[in-house]
Structures are given as structure tokens and as C-alpha cells.
Amino acid sequence: MHLTDEQLNEYLDHETDDPAEMELHLAVCTDCARRLSEMKVLFSEIESLPELAISPEFSARFMPIRSEHAGLPRSLTVTMILQAALVVAGIMIAAPFVIRFVSSYAPGLSIPSFVDVFLQMQTVWMAWLDTLSTLSFPTLSEIPVVNVSSLVTIFTVIGVSLLWLIGNGLLLRNQVK
């Protein structure tokens, strides 16, 4: 008695209850073995069907937009915050030395200390508060101005610029990596 097509299908699908028994029959029955072989060819042809490529238009339409404005990676954000903190700390540490250095080369030059600058700023702030409390409109000549020497300003600008350039360089190096 031959195996049915259903049995052969189930055998090839690994869904038969007793494959060993079927294999015994297939080993001696050339007719069933031939039918099984034909089915295997069909299975193979179905499964070897190559995949189609998607069309370029569809790919372009469907391709998720990789936003250029996407948030920076976490590592880069942390690096930037650390750099900013370092720049501020660097300025605070370097300022007294820069001032001392400038003073040594220009003895006549009067460079206010941080305390002086702070007190000046506080005075200015209090003056502002007083001005605002009177609700009057002060003329330009009444507005107190902090007198900071041009040399200090120049050195500060140069220092910050250098730190800024170094910081950007480090950032770009990270991005290239």
C-alpha cells in the first residue's frame, strides 16, 4: 500500500507522527520515493524564490528621515558641559595671574581686584535698585559705568577665545570619532 500525498506532505513538513515508519516504506517503495522526490523539488523551488528589491522611489519615500537636528549624543552633551565648567574655572584661576603679569609690565596701570570689581558691581546693582525704586527715568550721564581697563578686557577676550577654540577642537574630534 502506497503513502498518500497528504502523508508525504506532512512528512516533508515534519508534521508526521511517525517519520521512522514512513522512512522504512520509502526505502523499499520506488513509486512513493519518486513522488516524494518530486514534492521535494517543488518545495525547493518555492523556497528558493529570490526576494525582490524594493524600488528606489519607495525606498526614498519610506526611508526614515535621519534628522540632522537630532539631539547630540549623551557623551557629547556631557563633554560640552564639562568643557563649559572647565572654561569658567580656568578663567577664574587664570585671571589673578594675568592681572599680576600685566601689572608687572605696566606698573602705572591700575587693575582692580576681584573684590573691587565685585564691590563695584554691588554698588552698581544697588544704584540700579535705587534708580528703579524712584521710578524716574535717569539720564545716560547718571548711569554709573564700571571702569575696567581696556587691557584687562583684551586679555579676557583673548583667553576666552583661546579656550573656546580649544573646546571646539575637542568637540569636533569627538564627532569625527
With CB under 8 A as the rule, give the number of residues binding other proteins: 29
DSSP state of 92: H
- The yes or no reply on residue 31 touching other proteins (CB under 8 A) is no
Q: What gap in Å lies between CA 155 and CA 95, rounded to an integer?
A: 9
d(CA 59, CA 40): 35
Exposed / middle / buried, residue 32 (Cβ in 10 Å: 0-12, 13-18, 19+): buried
Binding range to other proteins, per CB under 8 A, among 1-9, 91-99, 137-145, 164-172: 1-9
46 binds other proteins (CB under 8 A): yes
* Ranges within 50-89 binding other proteins (CB under 8 A): 50-55, 58-59, 62-67, 70
User: Residue 125: left (phi > 0), alpha (psi -120 to 50), or beta?
Assistant: alpha
113 is an interface residue for other proteins by CB under 8 A: no
Residue 9 touches other proteins, criterion: CB under 8 A: yes
Q: What is the binding site for other proteins (CB under 8 A)?
A: 5-6, 9-10, 13, 15, 38-39, 42-43, 45-47, 49-55, 58-59, 62-67, 70
